[in-house]
Structure 1
Amino acid sequence: MIPKTMHAMLLTGHGGVEKLQYSQTTPTPEPGPGEVLVRVTATAKNNTDRKAREGLYPTKDKGEVTSFQMGGSPTLTFPRIQGADVVGHVAAVGAGVDEARIGERGLLDFNLYADERRDINLTPDYYGHGADGGFAEYIAVPSDQFHHVDNSDLADAELAAMGMCSYQTALHMLTSARVKAGERILVTGASGGVGTALIQLCRIMGATPYALSQADKAEALLALGAEAVLDRSSMGSFTERAKKVTGGHPFDAVMDLAGGEMTNAFIDAMIFNMKDRADYPRLSIAGASAGNLSEIMWTRVYLYQVQIFGVSHGTREEAEQLIAWIRGGQLRPVLHAAFPLSKLHEAERYFVDRNSNYLGKIVIVPDAQWEEHGAPFALSASPEAN
């Protein structure tokens, strides 16, 4: 029986973790026409949860406290339930949806699409921002965006770690930059959710990924598929270090999640020998963990014909391709740990202060589902994953 109220973590405004309030009496959503009601078993945490909470998406004034507004007006209203990468089981269906779906396990395509176009997404928004997300016991979502994944070798928490927020962003970075088989690709921020997704996706596409990360994460990143790992603790002589691992060749493209002062070094590592290239230097950027402002010379950009792609989310086609790869076992989860929903404050602090052992995703599990879907992946229970 579906309860009338549920446990949920409510974001009540921009600010610190104190703006996240645990509610035990939030109304359970009802599925509308074409929707399914999902009993949530795991939701991966993403950096965008923190950035949206803190209002760190300025587009005009660098000090502006704001959120996604690409559709022309803000869609984040309070209170809001965050959490984009939702895994769960269909508990009920709305009008027009086959009741045979009840009981299915699935993974949510997290996008709030503005229209039915399959190959473009010009005003990206997402569950957990413009509509309530998965940091709750139930969520109502479009049936066609809740993709059935019945792989028995994947636990619900592991499937959540392969959620669309990271993997679809990663794939869109690669497709935007026309990454091809045989190319050498630098992946920055390689130990996070998007970074680990990029390494795997490069291998599927036949490209060779090189990771930029902390030196103590090199072994795990090499095991995941990185050709080599460059230490990000010192960016001095970066091009020379890059030449050593590529055999003297420039990177064909950079998948950047860092920004800041590193941008020039990434460009340098693509343009030092233009005669050795088969395509233009390409920089895809989908994050700014090292700083939201970069100072670059535009003459270097246009004389060397550097192509820059800003990436946020992806398309329906890319989501469906990822689901096919997950079902086919071509992608594997990189799950760091699980936390109960009631301890989301603790998870947020751990995420910000994560140490050198951190690799992959943190997953949030409703307390009622904890013993089955969360406890096996708790920090103390899963040293091999931590």
Structure 2
Amino acid sequence: MVTEAVDTGARVPAAMAAMQLTGHGGLEQLVYRDDVPVPVASAGEVVVEVTATAKNNTDRKAREGLYATGRRATTTSFAVAGDPTLVFPRIQGADIVGRIAAVGSGVDPARIGERGLLDFNIYADDRRDINLMPDYYGHGADGGFAEYVAVPADQFHGIDDAQLTDAELASLGMCSYQTAYHMLTAADVAAGEYVLVTGASGGVGTALIQLCRVLGAVPIALSMPEKAARVHQVGAEVVLDRSQPESLLDQVREATGGAPIDAVMDLLGGTVTESLIATMTFDMRARATYPRLSIAGASAGRATELPWALVYLYQVRIVGVSHGTRAEAEQLIEWIRMRRLAPILHGTFRLSALREAEQYFADQSRQTVGKIVIVPDRHWATHGAPYALADTP
């Protein structure tokens, strides 16, 4: 049962500005409105006044209906938990930063004003170590491309580090970092191991590089040459040239001194998969563990032709990753508080310019490294303008 938010004296308006996704399709499906009802906190929830929300590739994929799990190209919604939970209109945006403006019953009113970062998952149950039916805010429930959002109080984690701005904190959001961390934990990555990271310039890729360093593993990045310097600054030991796939094995041998890659974290899929496995299997006598491939994306193609003999003869462990667990999210929050993770913020756009942000995000000619963050127009001067891109509206 929905309960009214506790009266704390906080001034929460009746209507807000938001960007609504009105259906599957192109950018024309994104509609900016200033008369959307502000959500009310249910029991155990808080209403957050949003100040920054990071963009993720899942925003585009959900809008375009690219979550088909079969080989046939159909427009469909993410539906791991059963029936599709993406209903229209929907407010997207998963990696939400803001301040608690109101609380529902059962939540301490002293939390009003607390700044925090959302664990973006919509969990199916209370289990801490497994998440079998993942969904997320911005897909199965309204997200942060708005001025206010209602979320579970126990998933809105307070971060009071004044040296970390709201836009920077949003760039550390769970959609990228929890996915990256679960890719590493699912593959049992250990200190000292060589880890090959594809898609290394994006949100999950840069998170993987940082998390490898936290775990003591050695990140070897695969990226385009024009992004190599920035990816190296993020923490990659070596940046391999993605534009030269025919020389990938030679590049790996040079980077590792002849040793095979221990584990691959892949965001590409498609025709790249077989060559990625080859980087782990070219010298099995030199290995101490089984080859491991974690995959959490398919930007190079949703279908892969793979000789299964390659997989079973070389005993390759392949694991698919979409979301992580409650325990992993809490560990990431602790590392953020300890400053073990650094924000990789590319730039900001106004909420009203979300269409332009989507175009910028999808433009492969941009040398984008790190996260694009969306800031509500009413908070632009404080939280967006300092990081505005030169061509931001």
Coarse TM-score class (shorter-chain normalised)? over 0.9
Give the aligned partner of residue 251 of structure 2. Answer: 241
- Secondary structure of 1:131's partner? coil
Shift of 1:219: 1.3
Q: Are positions 1:355 and 2:341 aligned together?
A: no
Q: Do the aligned residues in 1 keep the contact of 2:348 with 2:385 (CA within 8 Å)?
A: yes
Give the aligned partner of residue 149 of structure 1. Answer: 159
Matches within 5 A, 1:106-255: 106-255=116-265
Shift of 1:61: 4.3
Give the aligned partner of residue 317 of structure 1. Answer: 327
| One-letter code aligned to 1:358 | T
Shift of 1:71: 1.1
Q: Do the aligned residues in 1 keep the contact of 2:71 with 2:303 (CA within 8 Å)?
A: no
Runs of 4+ in 1 over 2 A off after TM superposition: 354-357
| One-letter code aligned to 1:161 | S
Shift of 1:278: 1.1
- Secondary structure of 1:291's partner? coil
Shift of 1:237: 2.4
Q: In structure 2, how many angstroms separate the alpha carbons of the residues matched to 1:11 and 1:267?
A: 38
Give the aligned partner of residue 6 of structure 2. Answer: none
Residue 337 of structure 1, aligned match among 347, 357, 363: 347
- Secondary structure of 2:113's partner? coil
| One-letter code aligned to 1:124 | P
Residue 44 of structure 1, aligned match among 49, 54, 57: 54
Give the aligned partner of residue 18 of structure 1. Answer: 28
1:324-372 per-position Cα deviation (integer Å, ceiling 9, x unaligned): 0000000000000100000000000000014342100000000001000
Q: In structure 1, how many angstroms separate the alpha carbons of the residues matched to 2:387 and 2:73?
A: 38
Q: Do the aligned residues in 1 keep the contact of 2:360 with 2:366 (CA within 8 Å)?
A: no
Q: Classify 1:250/1:263 alpha carbon distance in 2 versus 1 (closer, same or farther; 3 Å).
A: same
Q: In structure 2, how many angstroms separate the alpha carbons of the residues matched to 1:365 and 1:65?
A: 29
Q: In structure 2, how many angstroms separate the alpha carbons of the residues matched to 1:61 and 1:11?
A: 26
Q: Do the aligned residues in 2 keep the contact of 1:40 with 1:134 (CA within 8 Å)?
A: yes
Shift of 1:381: 9.4
Q: In structure 2, how many angstroms separate the alpha carbons of the residues matched to 1:51 and 1:271?
A: 32
| One-letter code aligned to 1:77 | V
TM-score (norm 1): 0.98
Unaligned runs of 5+ in 2: 1-10
Shift of 1:220: 1.3
Q: Do the aligned residues in 2 keep the contact of 1:217 with 1:356 (CA within 8 Å)?
A: no
Matches within 5 A, 1:290-301: 290-301=300-311
Residue 383 of structure 2, aligned match among 373, 377, 381: 373
Q: Do the aligned residues in 2 keep the contact of 1:31 with 1:37 (CA within 8 Å)?
A: yes
1:60-84 per-position Cα deviation (integer Å, ceiling 9, x unaligned): 2431111211111100000000000
| One-letter code aligned to 1:287 | G
Give the aligned partner of residue 30 of structure 1. Answer: 40
Q: Are positions 1:264 and 2:262 aligned together?
A: no
Shift of 1:309: 0.5
Shift of 1:293: 0.9
- Secondary structure of 1:23's partner? strand
Unaligned runs of 5+ in 1: none
Q: Do the aligned residues in 2 keep the contact of 1:375 with 1:381 (CA within 8 Å)?
A: no
Q: Are positions 1:99 and 2:109 aligned together?
A: yes
Shift of 1:234: 1.8
- Secondary structure of 2:136's partner? coil
Residue 284 of structure 1, aligned match among 294, 308, 319: 294
Q: In structure 2, how many angstroms separate the alpha carbons of the residues matched to 1:316 and 1:215?
A: 36
Q: Do the aligned residues in 2 keep the contact of 1:109 with 1:145 (CA within 8 Å)?
A: yes
| One-letter code aligned to 1:328 | M
- Secondary structure of 1:229's partner? strand
Residue 66 of structure 1, aligned match among 61, 70, 76: 76
